[in-house]
Amino acid sequence: MMGGGGGGGYGQYDGWDDENLGAVYDRSILVRLIPYIGQFKLWATIAVIGMLAATFSSVAMPLFIGLTVDTAIATGNTTRLVWMAGLFFGLVVINAIGLWLQSRYMAKVAHAMLVNIRTQLFGHLQKQSLGFYDKQQVGRLMSRVVSDVEQIQQVMTGGVIGTISDVLTLVGIVVIMLVMDWSLAVVTLSVVPALIVISIFWQRRARVAFLRVRRAISVVNGSLQENVSGVRVVQSMNREDENMRRFDNINHDHLDANLRASRLTAGMFPAVEIMVGISMAIVIIYGGWQVLQGALTVGFLVAFTLWVQRFFDPIRNITMQYTELQRAMASGQRIFELLDTQPQVADKDDAQPIPPITGRVTFENVSFSYADDIPVLRNVSLDAEPGETIALVGETGAGKTTFVSLIARFYDVTRGRLTIDGLDVRDVQHESLAHQMGIVPQEPFLFSDTIEANIRFGKPDATRAEVEAAARGAGLHEIIMHMDNGYDTELQERGANLSVGHRQLVSFARAILADPRILILDEATANIDTRTEARIQDALRRLLPGRTSFVIAHRLSTIREASRIVVMDNGSIVEIGTHNQLLANDGIYARLNAISYGAEATNGHITAPSAALPAPAGGAEDSAEDK
Amino acid sequence: MNRPAQKSGVWYNVRIFLRLQTFLLPYWRRATLTYVLLFISSASALVIPWLFGRAVDRLVEQASLGIILTVAGWILVAAIIRGATSYGQSYFSQAVSQLVAYDLRNTMYDRFQRQSFSFFDTSRTAELMSRATADVESVRMLISFALVRIVQVAVMLLMVTVVLLQSNWQLALVTLAVLPFIAYRTTRTSRRLRPVWLAVQQEMAALSTVLQESLSGMRVVKAFGREKEETERFNKQAYTLYERNVTANDEQALNTALMTFSVYFAAGIQLLYGGYMVMQGELTPGDLTAFLFYLLTITVYIRMIGWLGNPLSPAVASGERIFEILDARPEVREKQDATDNAVVAGQIAFNNVSFGYGGRDDVLQDVTFVAEPGQVIAVVGATGSGKTTLVSLIPRFYDPTRGAVVIDRVDVRNMTLDHLRSSIGLVQQDVFLFSATIRDNIAYGVPEAPEEEIIAAASAARLDSFIRSLPDQYDTWVGERGINLSGGQRQRLAIARPLLLDPRILILDDSLSSVDAETERSIQQALDRVMEGRTTIVVAQRLASVLRADQILVLDEGRIVQRGTHAELIAYPGHYRQIYELQLRHQEEAFEAAPEGITAGGGSRP
């Protein structure tokens, strides 16, 4: 009925791969869906009873009309007329109640299933390790939890019980017609094969047509989206006319696909109507002939015609439901596939909560590779004392991010052992460890919630005073107080209404509030205005002491103030030491400094850096990697 | 149609509604045909019950089979006419609606890409997308559905009423007595459902937000061990949605049952009262049958009354949002008498330029400078100091609120946009890749560029050898559905793009990307190549860029607070030195202060 609609609903943009329609019937999927219905046995039973009542009463109605015509009206028996009408009203009431029960309770079951599958999916997603998210697009996961589940719910609400009811109606009508007058029934139903052939033909063509429409609309939407997101490039390159020409082509393809689909959708109802017309004509001719012969009463002729009228609706409905069922099967398959994905990092069954830790982090010959077996960390060993600040330095791809990800147990080591306070991280409950660990990522992730809730993310049960204290610690308090709603200011998606620097500060405040024993910090490289930069430096100075901190360092000051600098190259630790030690070592770190020093000397522009900076004994400039 | 207005008054809604109708104008022939076909199909649908009634009467009278055959023949004819016309009506109404949607999409697409930057600064992509997709679709539905169906329902109900009243007014009144009840129930239900559906939509949106944020922020969730809380938050939201859905559904289930009940109840009344009248000889059995069939025929249309109104108000709201786009005049517009003279020298002058959004001038204040042809001007300053805005004024992405931007002594507002922008090459900070081949992405500004030029541009941008290492070389797809390019590769691609345009003026939004030293160096070399012989304005974040500049402009809160060469500015304390310390020195000098230095000292580096 949606015409050649736009594919409709969510998932229009990322629906590329979700179009493969499989079988309408897949036993393994149905078997797995049954337990979800099983939880709502009572409701489902009520719905089925209601459906049976509604179906049978509606099939029986023409019979009563026929009987009334023959036995009461034709004979002039008023008492019998009242009686028959009374019975008919009884049927009407049963039908209405049945229908009400069916639609009310079936939908309840469907929605309850929906909420169960959805929450189960979400819980399952929460358990997945980050390795899983590295490979999955958020949009695709969203469409699992939103549209695939909805598809199943829709089919459950309307489709399944509707189809059963349709089939029962068909069977009921055929049986009752055959019983009443088998020859008339056979003659009347002779058009049914034709309708079935038409339906199958229609259904095949329609599926192809709708698939084309859906593909076409996703191309249209993709092109639109790209043009909006890339509008700055488009305008600066003067591409408007060319793009318009191309879009018109794409848009026209979509139009064609839709018109083609419309030719089909417009045909289904009229085809059925013509079939009904033919059947009626047959009933009137053959039935009429029998009436004239005295073999059939007028009442039954009327009843037959009424049945014929009803007969075709279920066939049409089933045809329409076919694709929906197919889609639901495909959705079910995708949902169960997701539910079957085992988390790579999971707590052992006998994992214990880790007691309050002091924060000693030890890497013992740790090697790590992602799924592709290319080693990212090779045989790394490091013993970080409680309270130390470790600065990680090295080029992009040297393995710094992976290094800190292992501490947070985002991934499990491939070889070796990683212990915290002497306990292997794989032997403790991850949650208990996570609560004693804080992470400040390079690009802070903020939720669309109040600024207070965002800070509180680090400690859900924190009081307002604690939140404020944390904000003060991060140098954020006065910034927040300048906002219109203070701590209740709603942040936009990803904190878009805050500057990069301020987002960073919120992230610091979160970590301060969580008061973790171990802190992991990926310094931002974004160009932050002078004032905020100063605040960040301040906050860092307050955040780092007293905890074991690992900092992927980009700032000179951080590197200099670190207890130790770990220089990484190609997955290995190549140098460890303080700034001065490393300079004295004359290794990679020192060489970087030498280059810088040499550059300044030969360049001549940059003179006497010591004038601006309290230069260390080496007198050379430090370097940080460029990420 | 005459539902109470939601926000801005009935007339406002009606105006929008009427304006939506104007989209039908180009297709008025097809639209008219739709209505004609609809009329015929409705009429032929009503002939069938009447014919059937006649057949029944003839049968009761024991007429000849010949007459029965004739009646059956007519029923067949009516059914075929009905089928054919309803097919035509359905097809044409869909076709018209699709054509309107096609026009709307094209228009929206073009309006979008001709809006000035300020428009995109204040709107989100998703929001714009939803206007071009969901809103267009909702207007399309209005046209294909509501417009035809409303007329159809009205025509059908009216015709049936007339036919029934004519054949037997007493029975007609008894039969139609349920209509007021149905109308009442329908309006009541849809009035009660509207807020519930709205709530369902809102809860759904809230659920999606929770879901999306939790999934995109998984790293943070895991880092703080907040999985349980997130799951609780999601479950709570999922249950809220569930309750809303069930509420909506209960209302609907009751309504469905009551509607069906009303129709069958009317059938029962017909049976009782009509049957009695037949016994009294006031009605023929055929008429009674015809009445029953009429009732069945209009059942479908009675059900439609309920949801007919539904697409109206959202469609009007959609129309409103679409018109907002269609009516939005780009702030930057070409003058009628704009000149088309070529930019030859490439001298750029800012004369007391101020700029701000929404008429204020707080983003840039009184900026004045001249870039002589071939010069390099570096703009430095903190985030939010106005650097990007400053360079955006040159290609007229915005117009200054005061003062003038002048290129080769011509105010940019007096030049054609086409011509102005094709003289300016722009390398933006966040490189946007289109889902297309690498070739198309490089040649984005010059789609018809010959192969050699594309390769030359790629080579100049130090990208050629990388591209050649790919299996599909220049035909490799990038962007959303293609391969991922690294930050450095993207940047070099962005550098290659303006090369094909061979612009006199180059604007570089110098980004500090996550690339290794080797890449950094090749980007630097690529930049050197591009800047050669062009007037360049660079928003500088690389030390190399400021060192090379003929003049550095230091911006602070929209004002130029310092200007001069690096050597001049670094000599004494001030804004520049501060920025240098914070942004330039520690991040870059080791690798880039002097490319020669790196080559000498870092030759062994990978």
Query: Which B positions 259-288 lie with beta carbon below 8 A of chain A?
Result: 260-261, 264-265, 267-268, 271-272, 275-276, 278-279, 285, 288
Mean pLDDT of A476-494: 78
Contacts of A596 (CB under 8 A, 6+ apart): A620, A621, A622, A623, B589, B590, B593, B597
Residues of chain B in contact with residue A209, where contact means CB-CB under 8 angstroms, are none
Count other Cβ atoms within 10 Å, centred on residue B395: 27
Q: Are A406 and A414 in contact (CB under 8 A)?
A: no
pLDDT (average), residues A541-558: 77
Mean pLDDT of B78-107: 88
- Span B3-13, pLDDT tens digits: 443 445 667 77
What is the rounded average pLDDT for all residues in chain B?
Answer: 77
Task: Find the closest chain B residue to A89 by CA distance.
Answer: B268
Q: What is the DSSP letter of B586?
A: H
Structure-block tokens of residue B552? 């550095």
CA distance A18 to A433: 38
Q: Are A132 and A343 in contact (CB under 8 A)?
A: yes
Q: Check whether A228 has a pLDDT greater than 70.
A: yes
Kindly state the tokens that stand for B125: 């992509």
Q: pLDDT at residue A598 above 50?
A: no
A289 neighbors A52 (Cβ within 8 angstroms):
no
pLDDT band at B384 (very low <50, low <70, confident <90, very high): low
Angstrom distances, CA of residue A298 to CA of A158, B276, B359, B420, B423: 37, 17, 83, 85, 88
pLDDT value at position B308? 63
User: Residue B93 — φ and ψ, nearest 5°?
Assistant: -65, -40
B31 pLDDT higher than 60? yes
**Choosing among B124, B218, B246, which should be mutated to test the A contact, i.e. which has the most A CBs within 10 A?**
B218
DSSP class of A428:
B
Q: Do A626 and B587 touch (CB under 8 A)?
A: yes
Task: Tell me which residue of B231, B217, B218, B214 sits closest to A410, measured CA to CA.
Answer: B218
User: Would you say how long chain A is, in residues?
Assistant: 627
Tens of pLDDT, residues B571-606: 777 777 776 666 555 544 444 434 433 333 333 333
User: B325 CB near a chain A CB, below 8 Å?
Assistant: no
Instruction: Report the pLDDT averaged over residues A526-534.
Output: 63
DSSP per-residue codes, B242-284: HHHHHHHHHHHHHHHHHHHHHHHHHHHHIIIIIHHHHHTTSS-
How many angstroms away from the CA of B594 is the closest CA of chain A? 6
B514 contacts in chain A (CB < 8 Å): 396, 525, 626-627
- CB of B435 within 8 Å of a chain A CB? The answer is yes
| B544 three-state secondary structure | helix
> Residue B358 has what pLDDT?
64
Q: DSSP letter at A48? A: H
Q: Residue A406 corresponds to which tokens in the numbers above?
A: 């292992």
Q: Is pLDDT above 70 for A421?
A: yes
Rounded Cα distance between A14 and A432, Å, is 37
3-state secondary structure B303-348: HHHHHHCCCHHHHHHHHHHHHHHHHCCCCCCCCCCCECCCCCCCCE
What band does A599 get if pLDDT is binned at 50, 70 and 90?
A: very low
Q: Per residue, what are the HEC states of A383-413?
A: EECCCCEEEEECCCCCCHHHHHHHHCCCCCC
Q: In b/e form, how buried is each residue of A125-152, taking b as 16+ CB within 10 angstroms?
A: bbbbbbbbbeebebebbbbbbbbbbbbb
pLDDT, mean of residues A349-367: 82
Quick check: B412 and B490 in contact, CB under 8 A? no
CB A234 within 8 A of CB B434: no
How many Å apart are CA A514 and CA A446, to the nearest integer? 16
Q: Which residues of A touch B602 (CB under 8 A)?
A: 591, 595
A29-43, A143-157, B260-274, B549-563, range with greatest mean pLDDT? B260-274
> Two tokens at A627?
């990420």
Provide φ and ψ at B535, rounded to 5°. -75, 125
pLDDT band at B85 (very low <50, low <70, confident <90, very high): very high
ipTM: 0.76
Beta bridge partners of B348: B371, B407
Q: Cβ of B113 and A439 within 8 Å?
A: no
SS3 state at B370: strand
Interface check for B83 against chain A (CB to CB < 8 A): the answer is: yes
Taking the C-alpha atoms of residue B249 and residue A107, their distance in angstroms, rounded to an integer, is: 7
Give SS3 for A474: coil
Q: What contacts A337, CB < 8 A, 6 or more positions away? A: none
- Does residue B81 or residue A148 have the better pLDDT? B81
The two three-digit tokens of residue B112, written as one number: 């979008």
Strand-by-strand arrangement of the A518-522 sheet: A437-440, A518-522, A548-552, A389-393, A564-569, A572-577
Give the pLDDT mean for A432-455. Answer: 80
Query: Residues B148-182: pLDDT tens digits?
Result: 777 888 888 888 888 888 888 888 888 888 888 88
pLDDT tens by residue, B180-219: 888 788 778 877 877 887 788 788 878 887 787 777 777 7
Instruction: Read off the pTM.
Output: 0.71
Min CA distance, B46 vs chain A (Å)?
Answer: 12
CA-based angle A542:A397:B497, to the nearest 5?
105
